[in-house]
């Protein structure tokens, strides 16, 4: 599943990018994952709510 999401470890927050020119980079990519010292939490945007996702369950 592909969804816009926020990623945070409580100290840093990466916001989703919206628009025609967004890259769709997977949050597990080393370019993003390497920014966090500990496994962060992802929060995916749903149709009418935000879903908290464990980092270990993401592909």
**Residues of the chain falling short of pLDDT 70:** 20-21
The whole-number pLDDT of residue 21 equals: 66
Residue found under tokens 């020119």: 21
52: number of Cβ within 10 Å:
9
Q: Cβ distance 6 to 43 under 8 Å?
A: yes
Q: Cβ distance 44 to 5 under 8 Å?
A: yes
Residue ranges per structural domain of the chain: 5-57
The whole-number pLDDT of residue 18 equals: 75
| pTM for this model (two decimals) | 0.72
Residue found under tokens 């816009």: 4
Residue found under tokens 């980092």: 55
């Amino acid at each position: 599943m592909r969804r816009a999401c926020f990623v945070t470890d409580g100290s840093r927050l990466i916001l989703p990018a919206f628009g025609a020119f967004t890259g769709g980079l997977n949050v597990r990519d080393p370019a993003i994952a390497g920014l966090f010292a500990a496994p962060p939490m992802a929060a995916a945007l749903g149709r009418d709510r935000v879903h908290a996702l464990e980092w270990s369950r993401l592909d």
